Structure 1
């Protein structure tokens, strides 16, 4: 069970304001899903390969699974670790857990003992849901080992296959023998005991090093997050949103599940595989697709012309090369950007934004109650308009404190409750509209002889070279200048690329010489910290330190 004293909630006056302004609606996520199913019951809620579920079917089956979980003795408030894949059963499990009043903990199938042991220590889970089959690892055996190592009793649930271990419970058939009306009554009874600020979900912080901190997501704020995005994107019943990244992750939940479902739109669920993206978008007649960094090049695919239903492409995770936006525009497809975080605050480029603003910025906040300030890093001094500062945020879905982390919270928030994101942004006017541009992260700055190099700026410049598919810039220690820049690149079709060619490219672009990379390393693929696709910059810095500066 989660400990209430470890949870930081919104002040009562802010809750009253958000309710009064219609931002926080029905108390729980489960109630929202049921209301949507009553209104859009015959519409597809989910398409995944050959499988599909209408909203009515999703609502009914998740009622039964929730009642089955309750019958197992899993009491409301208990946390449940999730290590599952992008399948229909995972979506069912998500809503079933919420309907049972349980708290999903969004971990990844790639996590092992180092991560799961610490996350479990922080969240005290009562159950562990894993994929019954994983070609890379025995997750079922792992779940039992983790419980035994912690010296606790923990229900192991399996999905997408039969349980090889008789001690495990099979979630995919749980509650099938419970009458639909009886199951609905069980769910309604559980939901009656929850409120707007009841704990709904545990997400994990997006840090690239160390064990993630735990982010508590509350029912009304978390639903408002997804619903606000849907409104910002103009999604409506009949729209079909293709999503390829891990669904049990904040981006997956907000962009793939709660966002589309809040308006009766359809999730078209794929897998994190760029090679499968085109077939998914074309074959499922997607109207929208959300692309993570690994799949940006879908925008350049000639075969995308066959996606006649496609109207919008939303890029997430890094700055978008100009040629991607230009190629989409030439095909009559809207291209835009989204910037969000598990802690809250999401910005996206409005549909009516001019092309130059959609290409160069991440737009504006999605909720009318979002508040943004740009401070000089480490201070509470606002920067001048147009200047770069640390993004700090407060609003109706941005967390008020990490879970059970009072000491860290004192550093992570300003005196008046603004969350310090660690991201660098600037407020600018582009194409006649006010918007925000991403300028890097505080920790991703290279200091070369006192000159600051913004790594994301240089990465975008590298990405404009025809041979470069993906780029990352990290610091190499230097005894004279302090730091120098090392560029790691993945090239298209394995094309060669050396330092001389990169420098010639930067010279053609008229880039200041102190920003030029001083070593170029070509990799077959970038090392990553998770399926989500974030580059493992710590590993790259280790490689760069060992290599040193390249001699042209």
Structure 2
């Protein structure tokens, strides 16, 4: 059955005028669109390297030219400024050309992932009013083209399918072909008109947040603040045009856009883009003399064990560990191998905390650092209140600033819960501000939200519990994080079996979630059968007890 055609989500909570004026007056925000900012960088040195992948090397002039071609081709295909386009793409040069081309055409990209499936994409398409779908056609284990057709069959407003990685000569609309298509003079004029008419207070990009509810929240990122996010990143790490930033995580993640793509292109540096696999990223780092890398700690352990590690890291000046707890033995081993380690913590809604490259080892090993912008404001509040905790105590990390949103898109009820009365975003993360080696810095101390952080991908426990309880053998279930040396956390399902039913296996639960169209990264990776879930006197599941049981069994 076809779903009703949704209206695009467009209601944005604006930055208060006084704050917006301050950010502009202090030179943080400009009046450029993101594509215009990229062109300004390209004009300084069009022959400088902008992008390298295992299959391509593009200068700034080439990148701008290809993205302009894509923009004109998207409009020629019938898309209109303001149209929303779902992205399910991987790390290729064509993804970068598509990204900037989409923005140049005034389209609104939605940053979903190639690993999302029907459960997630259906929700996101409905929330955003998407009318187009860009997919990676050459995934080795899943046919996203066929999948996109299934989605469009249920949501006929998604009328345009675009691809990256489809065979040349196919009848699919390929980004690779649009890159080679030369715009007419009229099309170039149209692109300039679209850019001149761009509302800088309207969304440029739609990112997504998991949060503690079963449906995703849509995060509007604006041209001025999102590009500034990249500039601030580059400033903290001292990036210059000579740097080569290696990145293997999904590029359309917030960290990929703000900390890698925009950070590189704001200063004229190059981004080195590949998959995180050692045999993909490390040879590229070696060939291009990478000077910077961002990676989860678990992935970095794999790099350490690879024969190509020393060559890949020979010129690396800063190696940023993110998305999971950094244990001191890993930090020490990397430093002993000559790799200078820093840490980063961030949220798609905005704030980033970095340990500065010049900080003492004790600070870089034992904390996530401090905010990257002088206009970032941080409060540690008693959860659920607007009361500051005492110095040194743990409190909910609440933030506002020049690249932190003031509200989710078209979510007034959620915004009342997620933001304080004076506009601070309640992150759900617990933190303490402490002194290490004479420096004030932040350390994380837990979460108020029930999320599992699997290598940087957030899994909403409540969402998964509400899905699994539909299984005919499941009476009740608790989704709990278990420690993992590579990914930081994985999910364990504690299951109390329904009366008269046979206990399900892990395979049973995964097959059920697969049939429900749930992305694989959310599936449980361990199952524990229990007679009943431990509860408090008021009936709340005691997940602390279950986590302790996992630790005792490990």
- Gap regions ≥5 residues in structure 1: 446-454, 460-471, 475-482, 493-522
Query: Judging changes above 3 Å, is the alpha-carbon distance between structure 1 residues 327 and 383 closer, same or farther for their aligned structure 2 residues?
Result: same
Q: 391, 410, 413: which one pairs with 2:416?
A: 410
RCO (CA 8 Å, sep 6+): is it higher in 1 or 2?
2
Q: 90, 109, 113: which one pairs with 2:114?
A: 109
**8 Å CA contact 1:343, 1:398 repeated in 2:** yes
Question: Within the alignment, does 1:125 sit opposite 2:106 as a pair?
Answer: no
Question: Within the alignment, does 1:212 sit opposite 2:216 as a pair?
Answer: yes
How many residues end up aligned between the 2 structures?
A: 483
Structure 1: how far apart are the matches of 2:200 and 2:169? Answer: 39
State the Cα distance separating 1:546 from its structure 2 match. 7.4
**8 Å CA contact 2:9, 2:410 repeated in 1:** no
Structure 2: how far apart are the matches of 1:486 and 1:112? Answer: 22
State the Cα distance separating 1:296 from its structure 2 match. 2.5
Structure 2: how far apart are the matches of 1:5 and 1:49? Answer: 38
3-state SS of the aligned residue for 1:338? strand
Query: Judging changes above 3 Å, is the alpha-carbon distance between structure 1 residues 256 and 142 closer, same or farther for their aligned structure 2 residues?
Result: same
3-state SS of the aligned residue for 2:91? coil
| Number of the residue aligned with 1:295 | 299
Once structures 1 and 2 are overlaid, which stretch shifts more, 39-48 or 153-162? 153-162
| Number of the residue aligned with 1:309 | 315
Q: 24, 33, 36: which one pairs with 1:28?
A: 33
State the Cα distance separating 1:61 from its structure 2 match. 1.0
Query: Judging changes above 3 Å, is the alpha-carbon distance between structure 1 residues 164 and 176 closer, same or farther for their aligned structure 2 residues?
Result: closer
Q: 533, 536, 543: which one pairs with 2:528?
A: 543
3-state SS of the aligned residue for 2:66? helix
**8 Å CA contact 2:350, 2:404 repeated in 1:** yes
| Number of the residue aligned with 2:377 | 371
Structure 1: how far apart are the matches of 2:74 and 2:207? Answer: 21
3-state SS of the aligned residue for 2:528? helix
**8 Å CA contact 1:274, 1:294 repeated in 2:** no
State the Cα distance separating 1:352 from its structure 2 match. 1.7
State the Cα distance separating 1:96 from its structure 2 match. 0.4
State the Cα distance separating 1:253 from its structure 2 match. 0.9
| Number of the residue aligned with 2:430 | 424
**8 Å CA contact 1:206, 1:342 repeated in 2:** no
Structure 1: how far apart are the matches of 2:46 and 2:184? Answer: 15
Residues 11-48 of structure 1: per-residue CA shift (max 9 Å, x gap): 22221111111010133101100101101211111000
Q: 75, 82, 95: which one pairs with 1:77?
A: 82
- Gap regions ≥5 residues in structure 2: 1-5, 462-477, 488-505, 514-518, 533-545
Q: 76, 88, 100: which one pairs with 1:95?
A: 100
| Number of the residue aligned with 1:279 | 283
For residues 150-169 of structure 1, what are the structure 2 equivalents within 5 Å?
150-162=155-167, 166=171, 168-169=172-173
The root-mean-square deviation of aligned C-alpha atoms, in Å, is: 3.3
Structure 2: how far apart are the matches of 1:58 and 1:490? Answer: 38
Question: Within the alignment, does 1:351 sit opposite 2:336 as a pair?
Answer: no
**8 Å CA contact 1:64, 1:183 repeated in 2:** no
Residues 185-210 of structure 1: per-residue CA shift (max 9 Å, x gap): 33322110113323111111044873
Query: Judging changes above 3 Å, is the alpha-carbon distance between structure 1 residues 164 and 136 closer, same or farther for their aligned structure 2 residues?
Result: farther
3-state SS of the aligned residue for 1:437? strand
| Number of the residue aligned with 1:143 | 148
Residues 141-168 of structure 1: per-residue CA shift (max 9 Å, x gap): 22122122023252111112238974x4
Query: Judging changes above 3 Å, is the alpha-carbon distance between structure 1 residues 353 and 132 closer, same or farther for their aligned structure 2 residues?
Result: same
**8 Å CA contact 1:63, 1:183 repeated in 2:** no
TM-score (norm 1): 0.80
For residues 179-194 of structure 1, what are the structure 2 equivalents within 5 Å?
179=183, 184-194=188-198
